[in-house]
Structure 1
Amino acid sequence: MTTVAEQTVVEATMTEAETVMRDRFVDTAYELLAEDPRTAVVLADISADSFSEASRRHPDRVVNVGIREQLMVGVAGGLALAGLRPVVHTYAPFLVERAYEQIKLDLDHQDVTAVLVSVGASYDRPEAGRTHLSPADVALIDTLHGWTVHVPGHPDEVPPLLRAAVAGDGAVYLRLSTMANSRPYGGDGSLRVVRDAGPGAPLLVAVGPLLDESLAAVAGRDVTVAYTHRPRPFDTAGLRALAGTEVILVEPYLAGTSSRMVSEALADRPHRLLALGVGRQDLRRYGTADDHSRWHGLDAAGLRRSVDAFLG
């Protein structure tokens, strides 16, 4: 369980970059609470101050359980059973890793759904230590059936994704980050070509906020680049339409998380796959988010080295 000291440090030292996507989420959730009486928000202290006015206006639909992340998901399951559409929010490691059993039992096993919205991503707050790093969250969600995962690459992508998730009835994980591309791309998550190198060219698929670094990494190379903010369900039809014999997958979480999706989609074709993302080794370092991107080879220079070695 997160300590009071941990939570206080997190809230007091939120960077301006981190609040951009989070603030778009809070503003949109506030609007949804006013517009749709089915919407509920469940918190575990993180972002509680941001929802103070919403809590005053909708005391029966904004629930802060305190620093009890497992209870937060259990409450969401109860609200879903009562016919509400719960939006559950905290840091990624507390929401997915710490409360995984409750997601499995109180949501999936009871056949109810919720919208999980995390901040912190893989290593947005490394100065807070290993407790706040969560590169394995999408891989964990992927062990469950039928979840949609959105990894927006720009703050402007957040409001429409949240609105669509709350309006639906499926299980959704919306992963917010401090990292962002220079412009939004939106869409429904189908693969969107942003750089076309022509038929037969190697295909690089960039997920969420790693698009800009990916584009910089392949500058001057004949590589087609496609973007998606929706790694689940993965756009396998789009992949088959775009892929030649070489596919490069760049994801802002655990390396190889979507490898099986690519391999299954192209099982009937000869192909080579390079899966790039956060490494499995515990670096045991603090540093900054930029430092971690560099250490994991997810900055433009690191991606370029990996792509060059793969393509020869």
Structure 2
Amino acid sequence: MDTMRDRFGPVVTRLLDEDPRVAVVLAEIGADAFTDAARRHPDRVVNVGIREQLLVGAGAGLALTGMRPVVHTFASFLVERPFEQLKLDLGHQDAGAVLVSAAASFDWPAGGFTHMAPGDVALLDTLDGWTVHVPGHPDEAETLLRHAVAAGDDKVYVRLSAQSNAAGRPVDGQRFRTLREGRSGVVLAVGPVLDEVLEATSGLDVTVLYATTVRPFDTAALERATRAAGTDVVLVEPYLAGTSTAVVNDALSHVPHRVLGLGVGRRELRRYGRLEEHVAAHGLDAGSLRRRIGAFLGPGR
């Protein structure tokens, strides 16, 4: 199976061919995927070199001329390093762009902590007006990329990951999907953690929601689920643990509730190892999730 990042180049190349507003801005990373596209559209495929602040600034400039820029590099270089440009060049100027990241939280452990960005979604939460897509499969990534580019002039972040569920599911860029229904709690799985969550909750009397678009947060789906399953909610996110806890608390502020936020911990893992070892170390494998979810919901759930 191809990866989400494998899908990115061909999908955006087709969008370049289809829509004269679309432009791609790169900072060396991913440039090989657009070699042919750059020959056909030399004025709309821009490689700024290893200059991430300029990457975002150039994207914002294109947006201000009426273009729909797709801006791509690793998450740590796309959100963290040029954060001031996200805040000012895009946010302050009301300019829209599609930011597409790779490497996610710890997809390339050999790259070290400089190439890890588990706090990217939490950091974007400090800014106004961002849509955030977190696909869990290459098919979902393709659909959400097309949604993002077609989303007028909005600010959109598409978080691609090397981690993937075994099968893609229909996604619409807005709503959560209900995959299981129970009466003893709600477990919300985000993007590529779904398969581990489904295994971890097998046999448990819980509702499982699946989210690939987390901002805006589908509060209506959560409220519907909690009316039937109760207001104990477990969030399982493939980035910083607790990133969406405040959103859930706001959604359920009118009723007594409990929230457990599971995800990537703050402690830096300095023995980089393999991706699967990071998943286990952060307690995001199925066995660890089952223990943690079971302990939170209580015996007999």
User: What TM-score does the superposition give when structure 2 sets the normalisation length?
Assistant: 0.95
User: SS state of the match for residue 161, structure 2?
Assistant: coil
Aligned-partner SS, 1:41: strand
Aligned AA for 1:98?
R
Q: Percent identity?
A: 61
Aligned residue runs from structure 1 range 47-66, under 5 A: 47-66=30-49
| Residue 194 of structure 1: how far off its partner (Å) | 0.8
* Counterpart in the other structure of 1:11: none
Task: Give the unaligned 5+ runs of structure 1.
Answer: 1-16
Post-superposition CA distance 1:192-241 (Å, at most 9, x none)? 111112xx321000000111100111112111111010110000011001
- Shift of residue 159 of structure 1? 1.6
* CA displacement 1:230-273 (0-9 Å, x = unmatched): 11000001100101121010000000000011000000111111
- Report whether the alignment pairs 1:187 with 2:168: no
Equivalents in 1 of 2:169, 2:145: separation in Å? 15
- 1: CA distance between counterparts of 2:86 and 2:269? 28
Task: Tell me which of 203, 220, 235 is aligned to 1:249.
Answer: 235
- Runs of 4 or more above 3 Å deviation: none
2: CA distance, partners of 1:218 / 1:163: 32
Equivalent residue number for residue 12 of structure 1: none
SS of match in other structure, 2:215 = coil
Q: CA deviation at 1:166?
A: 0.9
CA RMSD of aligned residues (A): 1.0
The Cα of 1:164 is off from its aligned counterpart by 1.5
Match of residue 143, structure 2, among 138, 155, 160: 160
User: For structure 1, which segment, 56-65 or 155-164, has the greater mean C-alpha deviation from structure 2 after superposition?
Assistant: 155-164
1:196 aligns with 2:181: yes
Q: Which residue pairs with 1:171 in the alignment? A: 155
1:158-189 alpha-carbon deviations (Å, 9 max, x no partner): 12211111112211000000111111113223
> Does 2:109 align with 1:126?
yes
Q: Aligned partner of 1:302: which letter?
A: S
Task: State which of 225, 228, 235 in structure 1 corresponds to 2:218.
Answer: 235
Mapped to 2, the partners of 1:153 and 1:108 lie a distance apart of: 27
Question: Matches of 1:21 and 1:218 in 2, distance apart?
Answer: 26
**Matched-pair contact (CA < 8 Å) for 2:10–2:33:** no
TM-score by length of 1: 0.92
One-letter identity of the residue aligned with 1:213: E
The aligned counterpart of 1:33 is 16
SS at match of 1:231: strand
Q: What one-letter code is carried by the residue in structure 1 that aligns with 2:76?
A: P
- The whole-number CA distance in structure 2 between the counterparts of 1:186 and 1:253 is 22
CA distance in 2, matches of 1:66, 1:293: 32
Q: Aligned equivalents of 1:93 and 1:25: distance in 2?
A: 18
Q: 2: CA distance between counterparts of 1:76 and 1:190?
A: 28
Partner of 1:220: 203
Q: Aligned equivalents of 1:152 and 1:235: distance in 2?
A: 15
Shift of 1:309: 1.2
Amino acid at match of 2:125: D
Cα distance between partner residues in 2 of 1:254 and 1:281:
10
Partner of 2:266: 280
Aligned to 1:22: 5
Matches within 5 A, 1:33-112: 33-112=16-95
How far the C-alpha of 1:300 sits from its partner, in A, is 0.4
Aligned length: 293
